[in-house]
Amino acid sequence: MSKVVSELKYSAEHEWVAADGAGPVGIGISAVAADALGDIVYVDLPEVGSTVTAGETCGEVESTKSVSDLYAPVTGEVTEINDGVVADPALINSDPYGAGWLFKVAVTDEGPLMSAEEYAAANGGEL
Amino acid sequence: MTENYTALYEQHKKAGASFTDFGGWQMPLKYDSELAEHHAIRNAAGLFDLSHMGEIWVAGPDAGAFLDYALAGKLSAIAVGKAKYSLICDADGGIIDDLITYRLRAAADGTAKYLVVPNAGNATKVAAALAERAAKFDVAVEDVSAETSLIAVQGPNAEEILLQLVPAGQHSLVTELKYYAAVEVRITVDGAVQTLLLARTGYTGEDGFEIYVPNDDAPGLWEALLQAGEGHGLVPAGLACRDSLRLEAGMPLYGNELTRQVNAYAAGLGPVVSLAKESDFVGKEALAAIKAAGVGSTVGQKLVGLKGTGRRAARGHYPVLKDGMLVGEVTSGQPSPTLGYPVAMAYVDVEHSEVGTVLDVDLRGKAEPFEVVALPFYKRSK
C-alpha cells in the first residue's frame, strides 16, 4: 500500500504540505496519487513569485497514461520550485515526500487540510 | 457491466498487479512501473495475459466462403497455417471490429477450419454477427472465448524463452514460424506435455508469440513461461504498456482509432478491404461508394501520426487546429517512452494530412505544434 507520512498534512486533491509553519512550506503530491497516476513524465509548476490560491489549479502533472491538474493546497507566494523534479519528473514516483517535492509557498492562508490519519483513512494509504 | 476475471487473476494478484476494467474484464494495468515494462519489451521480453480477447471457431465445408461474406477481406485465400488481419463491417461500412483470422489444419473430414480472434469488448457482438451471417452457409460458428486463455510473450528475447518449453525435436516449428502464422506445438509444463496453438503476430512492434490455451492450463503455462524467462529479462506486463507499445507501432485500437463511425478508408485500412473478391460481403456496396468518393484520400478525414515538438502530450479527443481552425481530433496520444517525444494518432481533414504538415493540438487551452509524420512511429531494427 502507498505510504502516508505522518508529519505532513494533506489536501483532498492529494497534495501534501510540510506541517511546520515557520517560513515557506514544501508541497508535493502523495504516494497514493503518484501510484495512481503511474509513471510521471512531465510536470508544470507555478512560477517563483506568483501567488497560488488554495483549492485552485496551479500546474499539471502528466503521466504516460493521463494528465492531471495540480491544485494548490494553500494560499501564498511561491518562493522556490524544485528544478530537479522538472528535469526528472520520475522523482515524484520514486521519492514523493523527499526528492520529488514540487514547490514552496510562503503561506498566508491554508485550505482545508487533513491529518495523515484522516488522509490515509480516506484514501487507503499506509501510515 | 459484468465483471469478468481471467484464469490468471490469482497470478496477477500475486505479482502485485493493479487492475483496470477493460471491456468488462478486470485486467492487469501494470505490475510496478509501466515504463519499465515498456522498456523491457523493447529490449528483452514481456508476458501478457490477453485472455479477454475472443476466440471463435469457424469450421465446415463453407467456412472460407462464409468468412469472405462476413468479413471485409478474402479469408478463403489464407494459406493453411497463416493469419490475416481483417475487419468485420456493418452494412453501412462502419467498423464493428478489427480481428485476426487464422486458417488451421483442415478438420478430419477435410473441411476448412478457421480461428477468428476479435477484441475483448467486441467479442460477443462479433460472435453474434457471425452467427447471424452464417444462416445461408454450411458452417459451424462456435464461440469458445469463455473457455480459452491467451498468453503472449513479446520482445526480442521471446523466441529463446519459448524454446525452453518446447521439446528439442520441435524447435524448428518455433524458429521457422513466420510472422502472421500459427502452428500447433507441444509445450512441456510441470513435466506434462500439452499441445497448444502458437501464433506469431506481435502487436507490440516487436517479435512476439501468442499462445492459445484452455483456461485450466493457463496458470501452469504462465508460471512456466515466467520461470523460462528468468535470466532473459522477462517481466509480466500490463495493459498500460501494451497501449504505449501499440501506439508507437502505429496500430489502431478499437474504440480509439476504429469505431462504427469510421470506415476502413479513413482509417488507412483500405488494403484490408477486398472489393475485388467475387462474392458479396457485408458492407461491400457502402465501402465501394466510400472508396469511389475518395474518402480518406481526397475528401473527409484520414488517420495520421503526429509528433510533438514540446514535452506535453496530446490525448484522446483533443482538438487538432490549423491556424486556429478545427481540422481534426486526436484519437490516442501519450509520451513515447522509446522515442522520448510525444506521439499521437488523429483524424484530420485530408488537405492537412500530408507528412511534414505542422498542425496545432489544443492541450487544455494552449495550442502546441505537432508535425504530421508517417506511421508507425517506431519500427524495430531487424
Residue B86 pLDDT: 98
Residue A23 pLDDT: 85
Instruction: Count residue pairs from A and B with Cβ separation < 8 A.
Output: 41
Residues of chain A with pLDDT under 50: none
Are the C-beta atoms of B244 and B337 separated by less than 8 Å? Answer: yes
Residue A19 pLDDT: 74
Residue B313 dihedral angles phi and psi, to the nearest 5°: -95, 150
A39–B313 CB contact, under 8 Å: no
Are the C-beta atoms of B201 and B180 separated by less than 8 Å? Answer: yes
A64–B312 CB contact, under 8 Å: no
Mutate to test the interface with B, among A39, A40, A42 (most CBs of B within 10 A): A39
B335–A66 CB contact, under 8 Å: no
Alpha helices in B123-231 (DSSP H): 123-133, 158-163, 171-175, 218-228
Min Cα distance B250 → chain A (Å) is 17
Min Cα distance B115 → chain A (Å) is 33
B335–A41 CB contact, under 8 Å: yes
Residue B382 pLDDT: 67
Judged by a CB distance cut-off of 8 A, whether residue A121 touches chain B is no
Residue B274 pLDDT: 97
Contacts of A90 in chain B (CB under 8 A): 35
- Give the Å distances, CA to CA, from B65 to A14, B107, B114, B140, B273: 58, 16, 12, 13, 15
Give pLDDT tens digits for B191-203: 888 889 999 998 8
Residues of chain B with pLDDT under 50: none
Judged by a CB distance cut-off of 8 A, whether residue A126 touches chain B is no
The neighbour count for residue A103, using CB atoms within 10 Å, is 26
Q: Which of B35, B243, B311 sits opposite A39 (nearest CB)?
A: B35
**Rounded-to-integer distance, Cα B100 and Cα B6, Å:** 21
- State how beta strands B56-60 and B112-117 pair: antiparallel
Could you report the predicted ipTM of this complex, rounded to two decimals?
Answer: 0.83
For B16, nearest residue in chain A (alpha carbons): A1
Give pLDDT tens digits for B331-348: 999 999 999 999 999 999
Q: Is B304 helix (H, G, I), strand (E, B) or coil?
A: strand
**Rounded-to-integer distance, Cα A55 and Cα A74, Å:** 7
Residue A21 pLDDT: 63
Contacts of B243 in chain A (CB under 8 A): 65
Cell numbers that stand for A121 in this block: 483513512
Q: List Cβ neighbours of B20 (8 Å cut-off, separation of 6 or more).
A: B26, B27, B28, B29, B239
Give pLDDT tens digits for A14-25: 999 997 667 899
Q: List Cβ neighbours of B141 (8 Å cut-off, separation of 6 or more).
A: B56, B57, B58, B127, B130, B131, B134
Contacts of B38 in chain A (CB under 8 A): 64
